[in-house]
Chains A and B, each alone.
Chain A
Amino acid sequence: MAGTAEAQKQIAEVTGDYKYGFVTDIDMDMAPKGLSEEVIRFISAKKEEPEWMLEWRLRAYALWLKMEEPDWAKVSFPKIDYQDAYYFAAPKKKDGPKSLDEVDPELLATYEKLGIPIREQEVLAGVQGSAKVAVDAVFDSVSVATTFREELKKAGVIFMSISEAIREYPDMVKKYLASVVPVRDNYFAALNCAVFTDGTFVYVPKGVRCPMELSTYFRINAENTGQFERTLIVADEGSYVSYLEGCTAPMRDENQLHAAVVELIALDDAEIKYSTVQNWYPGDKNGKGGIYNFVTKRALCKGKNSKVSWTQVETGSAVTWKYPSCVLAGEGSVGEFYSVAVTNNYQQADTGTKMIHMAPNTRSTIISKGISAGKSQNTYRGLVKVLSGAENVRNYTQCDSLLVSSECGAHTVPYIEVKNPTAQIEHEATTSKISEDQLFYCRARGLGEEEAVAMIVNGFCKEVMQHLPMEFAVEAQKLLGISLEGSVG
């Protein structure tokens, strides 16, 4: 795979500006500005939700009002005015598209610019034997198109927008929603409960290996609109599912808030693989604009020998506050976290994971690669916790930081709490600056300076990248190159 050659091609295309900075002009059906009970009622009504869901949202809102925005992360940004944003924006609904032909062509054009494979002939025609990716595309809060649903249905896999699931599978949603991330878990999670507008629901039945990778593309489009995604994935006994999440956002001056909640539940012997490539607008070279990404992602390894693996490549957003975690409640369950976080210019990332070992013989692995460039700040913050009843727990943590410039910061903040003496916890951390010798060696073999940086950084991230599904790995390699563009010197 000539990843870096690809990266260079991409760099040439990008020519210094955020590639995905364009705005689709579609009439918006907006909620009034600001946050209030009325707005929540408006959202719930727009989504045609049952009464119980509205009540649930209102309770979350009441809780949120009493909570304080957290300030412990190593990030700083102007105070968010929650009344100065729109909480619901959806493309105008005519009769509800029955197929892609009925989808607003401008929407499809936007996807095309993004290179989203929704229009790919293969996917649409369902060509046998081709790499199958089911795309549930979220465009400004409403799922406009879902492909492959039929084939998934045959396997018994439910893959739909959370709004639909609330209407069609209310019992399942009631059972699992907020069962991993409680409403009161944190400020942003509570806010999400009150105002989430869409997201994805996945249920994989007992013993089923999901026949394809599931993929959702998120995209923030309306000016000043927070995107509050809600994702719920349940893997029943002995099942397996791989889920891909990737995102881009158009360029905006105003900071946009994104506060998603993702909950994963793995029952006995089930496995969930969740991969993210996050490329939201990081702000310009002077730190103006960009997305605030305050996400709560947590998995519950509820069943015996269940396994959850988080893999993330984070290159975007102005401010990232994100800790995909695993609660290892089932005996012998396994949690994994593989992360690459790149920050450039004035980006700030405070990201890591929590591995909570509640049951005996549980194991976790954490591999974190932080790359800081420009004047950015990149923090790994992780917790490994072993409860007293959890015998024979093992954890291995490796945190490596690579500094590309001399004005950036890399920080590693590991917390380890062990209440059982049989636990084996290993922690390794390194920090290094990208070496002049390596750069010159690459350049003396014909690589341009940025190509050389991209190659060295991709090598540095190898252990994480190899956990990404193939089609994602290629995209992620390109992203690393693009994100570090102009970072040398």
Chain B
Amino acid sequence: MLKINDLHISVGDKEIVKGLSLEIKPGETHAIMGLNGAGKSTLAATIAGRDDYDVTSGSIEFESKDLLELEPHERVGEGLFLGFQYPVEIPGVSNLNFLRTALNSIRKYRGLDEMSAAEFMKLVREKAKTLGMDPEMLKRFVNVGFSGGEKKRNEMVQMAVLDPKLAILDETDSGLDIDALKTVAEGINAQRRDDTAILLITHYQRLLSYVQPDVVHVMIDGRIVKSGGKELALELEEKGYADVA
């Protein structure tokens, strides 16, 4: 589904990602673990199409399409989702309006008709309920005045409604208490299917107790230095990054 080959990413003169390769197949859940500054978030944002980063060489293919040729919203249309480490506030725009516009934009990209208001409301209410979100939150402005946990939960509701093929979740577990973490993990697990894939980007092993990955990658200084099964995460937790690498 996702194929990254020898990717180099720079910000200004500084190279952040230094030759990274990764392949994720349908049905798989991968985790990239690494310390702050390893280039994890840069990688996630680049896959989603943020233009502050320069891809100096290498390629990213998503379902055999050259992702780097596509605008961010086209990537979303193809089935990509990025869960933000710091979800952004948009004053004056209700969660419902935001989600509905997003969903219909994606449908339009795929040549589908807009979803009716009634159908949309049913879908959103159902997903919000599953993820334990108060329906009143849907009427509030996007992330404005939300706690850290509420923001992350909101990301999960968005993911559930938009139903991506590949979800990249950037530090979705950071700043969550144990209850919120469990809810978020349920949201992620619900999104795991034979035809979808998940890429978790995380600092800690914590989340991986609830969402068990098929493959764990250790990222240090812009490169994947080691890959293995879910036990690698535990090993990291015990020995620290320096020893494992």
A contacts, CB < 8 Å to B: 1-5, 8, 435-438, 440-449, 451, 455-456, 458-463
Contacts and interface: CB of A to CB of B under 8 A. Distances in A.
Interface string B43-61: 0010011101000000000
Contacts of A440: 45, 48, 50, 72, 88
Interface stretch (B14-22, B76-84, B128-136, B202-210): B76-84
B6 interface: no
A462 B144 CA distance: 14
Contacts of A1: 97
A449 B71 contact: yes
A317 B162 CA distance: 40
Interface residues of B, number: 35
Contacts of A8: 105
B101 A459 contact: no
Given A5-B105, A459-B141, A445 B93 contact: no
A447 B101 contact: yes
B48 A444 contact: yes
B138 to A, nearest CB: 15
A468 to B, nearest CB: 14
Given A436-B52, A456-B93, A446 B100 contact: no
B158 interface: yes
Nearest to B83: A444
A444 B93 CA distance: 16
A456 B90 contact: yes
27 contacts: A1-B97, A2-B104, A2-B114, A5-B101, A5-B108, A5-B114, A8-B105, A437-B88, A438-B89, A440-B88, A441-B84, A441-B87, A441-B90, A442-B90, A442-B102, A444-B50, A446-B73, A446-B162, A448-B71, A448-B105, A451-B73, A451-B101, A459-B141, A461-B92, A462-B92, A462-B93, A463-B92
Contacts of A463: 92
Contact of B92 (A5, A437, A448, A459): A459
A457 B109 CA distance: 23
Contacts of A5: 101, 104-105, 108, 114
Q: DSSP class of B's interface residues: helix, strand, loop or mixed? A: helix
Interface string B99-131: 011111110110000100000000000000000
Q: DSSP class of A's interface residues: helix, strand, loop or mixed? A: helix
A458 B114 contact: no
Contacts of B108: 5
B76 A446 contact: yes
Contacts of B90: 438, 441-442, 455-456, 459
B175 interface: no
A5 B105 CA distance: 7
A8 B106 CA distance: 13
Interface centre among A3, A448, A456 (most CB of B within 10 A): A448
Interface centre among B98, B114, B162 (most CB of A within 10 A): B98
Nearest to A463: B92
